[in-house]
A and B are shown apart, each in its own frame.
Chain A
Amino acid sequence: MYGDLSNKLILEAKRAKQLRETSTSLASQLTPYQETFVRNILKEVEQLKQNAIFLHEEIVNETDPMQLKMKKCQYYVNFFAMERNKRCLLAYHKDRSDTMDSLCWDQQNLILNGGNGNKGNKHDATTLDNNNNNDDNDNDNNSNNIDNETFDINNLSHEEQVYIREYSKLITSLNGDEFADIDLNGSLVPPSEVFIDVRVLKDAGEIQTEYGVFNLIKDSQFFVRQSDVERLIQQGYLKKI
């Protein structure tokens, strides 16, 4: 039946959504793009379109009112099948684009791992510096490929890769001019304490923040202003105590 394929696609989207809600790791946030499903659905739509054109001609030429009624009914059913496919495709892609948007907002320096992960091909690693104007983390920190900040860009279709780049550019521009004083990507939890204790989880060497230099040695502890280290906590170098 027409529409069965799109049903499968929607089930896939649902599964991805469930995965997103239950797991926190970035890798599971975006499941691989269902290229074959989408292609098959598009093929089906193409076929439906051929049907529609054929039926339309029939309707124009038909003279018998009874036959005309039947043909019109066929035409409508055909049309609804197309409509349903469209709905399912749009729902799937909207779901994915919403996920990509939230990834862009959550991850300060989203690293899109271009090469296949197992090849360890680091040349393809593309860095989306959402926030370099806010934080002076030098680039070798970003290309350290911290596990929870990378995810496979091959999971995205080509159009989605373009979209995610453009979208993060948009965010950067928004951060840049109008609201330069406010860090729009920052934490959404209201600040409660001015100074906090933090423990260093990962060796990161000397890191320059806007307000001074830290020497981040593993397992050392600092008593610092929260706003200074918020970024580092998000990136997983520090843990708040």
Chain B
Amino acid sequence: MSFPESLQNTFLPQEIQFIVENEPIKILPRITTRQRKQYRQGSNYDPDSKNSHPIKPWRLITTNDYNVNNMIAMKSTELPLWMAVLLKEQKKCNIIAPNWITVSNLDKYIDFELKNPMKFSSLPWNWLVIACILFTKAPDDLTDPIHLLKSRCQDLREIRLAKVQNGLAILNESHLQLDNLSLMEINEIRPYATKISDMFKNLHKNTAAGLGEDYDMHMDTSEPGASFNMTQNP
């Protein structure tokens, strides 16, 4: 098919990264793109007459381009992550790491994770991807030594993974609560969890229908979890 089967039900990790790269992030630009007054006066931009405007303002189709055209060196501004990474690669900006990527903050998250075995700490939904991008693309912009941060992130990931695995034990036919689980982590368990809970659902529907007066297996008479809940203790 036009869309390969492996992609039909879930995202690739690269696609997750693509989604996350649209998020804004703070940077310290090293270049100034704000134009001086005399250029800005004729603000009705006309692409045909290049002579009247020696510097063409950039235009972005995908995002708001106001910040891109108004960067002042060493004044922090917000850009989409993909743009920040692009500028960072050319050494035209420094990325300001988000608050949570510091040793002390990560330690707090780890503490929370350890004290609450039934909960996930409130890391941002994209923490894995952001951490990965920052560690590879902008290691010099982080405030703490990178090996400490990396080990903290690894710890967090392992603790959370263990919790996810525990949580899969209570997979059932009606619902699953995954507060504060990040997109990447959800993506990892998606194929498994949805498939199993679909199976539970079918099983539940069929048993409930078979036990009632109605022997027609195809008829959906039961509401999930309404009367007879066999899947709770298999």
B interface: dominant SS? helix
Q: Taking the complex as formed, is B94 at the interface, i.e. its CB lies under 8 A from any CB of chain A?
A: no
Residue B18 at the chain A interface, CB threshold 8 Å? yes
The reply to whether A192 and B2 form a contact with Cβ atoms under 8 Å apart is no
**Chain A's nearest CB lies how many Å from the CB of B8?**
11
The 0/1 profile, CB within 8 Å of A marked 1, for residues 10-29 of chain B is: 00101101100000000000
A102, B7: Cβ atoms under 8 Å?
no
Q: Which residues of B contact A192 (CB under 8 A)?
A: 14, 17-18
Interface string of A92-122 (1 = CB under 8 A from B): 0000001001100110000000000000000
The residues of B that contact A98 with a CB separation of less than 8 Å are 1
- Chain A interface size, under 10 / 10 to 19 / 20 to 34 / 35 or more: 10 to 19
Contact in complex: B17, A190 (CB < 8 Å)? yes
Query: B196-225 toward A: CB 8 Å interface, digit per residue (1/0)?
Result: 000000000000000000000000000000
- A188 interface contact, C-beta 8 A: yes
Residues of A within 8 Å of B5, CB to CB, are: 102
A102-B1, A105-B2 known; A190+B18 contact, CB < 8 A: yes
CB distance from B12 to the nearest CB of A (A): 7
Does A189 count as interface, using CB distance less than 8 angstroms?
yes
Which of A101, A102, A106 is most buried by chain B, counting CB atoms within 10 A of its CB? A102
Question: A189 to B14, Cβ gap below 8 A?
Answer: yes
Verify A190–B1 contact, CB threshold 8 A.
no
**Cα distance A102–B5 in the bound complex, in angstroms:** 9
Interface-central residue, B2, B5, B18, by most chain A CB under 10 Å: B2
**A188 to B15 CA separation, bound complex (whole angstroms):** 9
Query: Residue B4 at the A interface, CB < 8 A?
Result: yes
Q: Does B12 contact A189, Cβ atoms closer than 8 Å?
A: yes
Known contacts being A188-B7, A189-B12, is A105 close to B18, with CB within 8 Å? no
- From residue 79 to 94 of chain A, which have CB atoms closer than 8 A to chain B? none
Residues of B within 8 Å of A102, CB to CB, are 1-2, 4-5
The contact of A105 among B1, B12, B14, B17, by CB within 8 Å, is B1
23 pairs, A vs B, C-beta closer than 8 Å? A98-B1, A101-B1, A102-B2, A102-B4, A102-B5, A105-B1, A105-B2, A106-B4, A184-B2, A188-B3, A188-B4, A188-B7, A189-B12, A189-B14, A189-B15, A190-B14, A190-B15, A190-B17, A190-B18, A192-B14, A192-B17, A192-B18, A194-B86
Extra 19 A-B pairs, beta carbons < 8 Å, given A101-B1, A190-B17, A194-B86 = A98-B1, A101-B2, A102-B1, A102-B2, A102-B4, A102-B5, A105-B1, A105-B2, A106-B4, A184-B2, A188-B3, A188-B4, A188-B7, A189-B12, A189-B14, A189-B15, A190-B18, A192-B14, A192-B17
